[in-house]
């Protein structure tokens, strides 16, 4: 359930719809599903297998399994990715607090679609409010990491995560009754094959890794706490099924509304935060729905933030021999500084651009579209080529006590299919070679 908690979060509800909106809807969804299936699921299996074999943090896991000068260092890339993701993910997580606040203070009543959009842009580009919420998010994550409220959050997420799922299903029902339902669904589910190009493929691949929390060491770290008798194939199936269904549900909630309220599907990170208030505003008891939805979304983000923070903290703790509290403090402070700049980059610092992107967009792009696929590629090469095949199969089948018919196919995927496909996507996007 912790692995599901890490996987399900803003990636499904905020990032998936906006990436789908920007990349042609159905075309994106199709490539995304293929990526989850061919790249995501075997990589998730690889991370969990490595984690349980090595039983240690994600940097040490590679070191312990190989003394090779390059392979033993793959783990650092993941730690660095987690730190960078914390730098923008916490900002978006903070936005959910603003929406909870606006729901209780009556801010969503009687506004038009235009006004929702304007008020979001005003809010996200202002220098103080978003930073206040971001810092609050860091504080909560920090307290959980140093152990104070761990039990509480565990108990809370055990019933709140299923509740988020139920709420999404109910909102889907509502979205299907909207005027733009047909148009929205056909945008999401009817692939326009001519829209598939290298950047759609790169975006879909990045989204698959991001959504399943892959290539950053999170699943290695979590699986290091697994018992010997955990059924890995079943765990991997559960995590990926739940994660993908939440993304699909979010799409079905969002796109009918996008077309009903005349919202531009291609507007990027703003999309969900502009669309959802429109949905709540037309519901009876809209503010109540809105409050609960954003509360559950905040919780889903926190369970993902914990996993990101934990990877970096566990590393700092062991590498620099610091206490858990000190390491967590170092990580929170570093990431918070990054997040403050990421938030400011949407407003007062928007003219500071790197490679044509502000810091917020850059962090999102570099982690999801470069670092996580690269981390996954290296992991698969490591597992497929450096580790012994029979040892791998032994681990996934719990030393022969479980049958997993796909074990051999999985090893082939690690050795050849995944490394080749990820490389092709990279090379294609760089324009070095055109498929
Ligand atoms: N998978 C999370 C989500 O979809 O919201 C985000 C995430 C968590 C990405 C942990 C990467 C990671 F290492």
DSSP 57-103: -HHHHHHHH---TTGGGHHHHHHHHHHHHHHHHHHHHHHHHHHHHHH
Closest-lying ligand 1 atom to the alpha carbon of residue 210: 9
219 to 30, 36, 216, 243, 274: CA distances (angstroms): 25, 15, 8, 14, 32
Q: Is the dihedral of CA 185, 172, 181, 202 positive or negative?
A: negative
Fold (topology level) of 2-429: Hydantoin permease (1.10.4160)
CA 94, CA 86: separation in Å to the nearest integer?
Answer: 12
**Cα 177 to middle of ligand 1, angstroms:** 31
Of 361, 344, 270, 302, the C-alpha closest to 93 is 302
Average pLDDT over residues 86-98: 98
The share of the chain scoring above pLDDT 70, in percent, equals: 97
What DSSP character marks residue 194? G
Percentage of the residues of the chain whose pLDDT score is greater than 90: 84
Q: Would you kindly state where each structural domain of the chain is located, as residue ranges? A: 2-429
pLDDT (0 to 100) of residue 434: 65
User: Which stretch of 62-71, 120-129, 161-170 has the lowest confidence by average pLDDT?
Assistant: 62-71
Ligand 1 centre and the CA of 338: distance in Å? 17
Q: According to the model, what pLDDT value does residue 66 have?
A: 86
Structure tokens given for 205: 């691949």
Number of separate helices (H) and strands (E) present in the chain: 22, 0
Please list every protein residue whose CB sits less than 6 Å from any atom of ligand 1. 6-7, 9-12, 82, 85, 210-211, 213, 216, 218, 304, 307-308
The Å distance, Cα 7 to ligand 1 centre, comes to 5
Tell which one of 217, 307, 314, 366 to mutate to probe ligand 1, the residue whose CB is within 8 A of the most ligand atoms.
307
Q: What is the pLDDT of residue 153?
A: 66
Ligand 1, atom nearest to 311 Cα: 13
Question: Which mutation among 218, 301, 371 tests ligand 1's pocket best, with the greatest number of atoms within 8 A of CB?
Answer: 218
Mean pLDDT computed over 149-166: 77
- Calculate mean pLDDT across residues 80-87: 98
Q: Which two tokens stand for residue 401?
A: 């006590």
Distance in Å, CA 365 to ligand 1 centroid = 14
What is the CA(293)–ligand 1 centre distance, in A? 19
| pLDDT tens-digit readout, 211-241 | 999 999 999 999 998 899 999 999 999 999 9
Protein residue with least CA distance to atom 13, ligand 1? 213
Residue having the nearest C-alpha atom to atom 11 of ligand 1:
213
CA triple 228-233-239, angle to 5 deg? 105
pLDDT of residue 149: 57
Q: What is the mean pLDDT of residues 363-381?
A: 97
Q: Which of 2, 3, 5, 11 to mutate to test the pocket of ligand 1 (most atoms within 8 A of CB)?
A: 11
What residue's CA is closest to ligand 1, atom 10? 213
Residue nearest to atom 9 of ligand 1 (CA): 213
What is the reported pTM? Answer: 0.96
- Residue 306 CA to ligand 1 center (angstroms) comes to 10
Least confident stretch, 135-149, 305-319, 325-339: 135-149
pLDDT at position 353: 95
Q: Is the pLDDT of residue 69 over 90?
A: no
Give the number of other Cβ atoms within 10 Å of residue 101's Cβ.
Answer: 14
**What does the mean pLDDT of the chain come to?**
94
Region of poorest pLDDT, from 136-150, 179-193, 316-330, 413-427: 136-150
For residue 253, the surrounding DSSP H or E stretch is helix 232-260
Q: Tell me which residue has its CA closest to atom 4 in ligand 1.
A: 11
How remote is the CA of residue 236 from the centroid of ligand 1, in Å? 15
Show the tokens assigned to 172: 């889907």
Closest C-alpha to 59, from 81, 40, 44, 39: 81
């Amino acid at each position: 359930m912790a692995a599901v908690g890490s996987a399900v979060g803003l990636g499904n509800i905020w990032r998936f719809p906006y990436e789908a909106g920007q990349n042609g809807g159905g075309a994106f969804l199709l490539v995304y599903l293929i990526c989850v299936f061919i790249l995501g699921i075997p990589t998730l299996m690889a991370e969990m297998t490595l984690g349980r074999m090595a039983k240690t943090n994600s940097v040490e896991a590679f070191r312990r399994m190989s003394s090779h000068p390059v392979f033993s260092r793959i783990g650092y890339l993941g730690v660095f990715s987690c730190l960078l993701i914390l730098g923008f993910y916490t900002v978006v997580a903070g936005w959910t607090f603003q929406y909870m606040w606006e729901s209780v203070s009556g801010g969503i009543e009687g506004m038009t679609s235009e006004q929702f959009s304007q008020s979001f842009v005003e809010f996200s580009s202002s220098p103080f409010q978003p930073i206040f919420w971001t810092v609050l998010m860091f504080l909560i994550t920090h307290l959980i990491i140093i152990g104070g409220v761990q039990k509480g959050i565990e108990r809370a997420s055990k019933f709140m995560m299923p509740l988020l799922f139920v709420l999404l299903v109910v909102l889907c029902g509502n979205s299907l009754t909207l005027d733009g339902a047909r148009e929205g669904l056909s945008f999401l589910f009817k692939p326009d094959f001519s829209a598939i190009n290298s950047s759609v493929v790169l975006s879909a691949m990045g989204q698959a890794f991001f959504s399943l929390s892959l290539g950053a060491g999170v699943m290695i770290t979590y699986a290091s706490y697994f018992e010997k008798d955990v059924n890995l194939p079943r765990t991997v199936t559960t995590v990926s099924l739940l994660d993908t269904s939440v993304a699909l549900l979010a799409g079905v909630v969002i796109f009918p509304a996008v077309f009903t309220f005349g919202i531009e599907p291609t507007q990027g990170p703003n999309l969900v935060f502009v669309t959802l208030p429109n949905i709540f505003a037309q519901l009876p008891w809209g503010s109540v729905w809105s409050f609960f939805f954003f509360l559950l979304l905040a919780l889903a983000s926190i369970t993902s933030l914990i996993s990101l923070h934990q990877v970096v903290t566990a590393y700092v703790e062991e590498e620099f021999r610091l206490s858990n509290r000190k390491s967590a403090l170092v990580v929170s402070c570093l990431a918070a500084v990054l997040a403050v700049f990421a938030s400011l980059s949407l407003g007062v610092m928007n003219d500071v651009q790197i490679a044509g992107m502000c810091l917020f967009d850059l962090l999102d792009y570099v982690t999801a579209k470069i670092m996580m696929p690269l981390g996954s590629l290296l992991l698969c090469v490591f597992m497929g080529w450096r580790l012994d095949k029979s040892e791998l199969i032994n681990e996934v089948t719990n030393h022969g006590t479980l049958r997993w018919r796909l074990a051999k196919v999985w090893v082939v995927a690690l050795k050849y299919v995944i490394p080749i496909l990820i490389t092709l996507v990279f090379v294609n996007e760089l324009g070095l070679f055109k498929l």
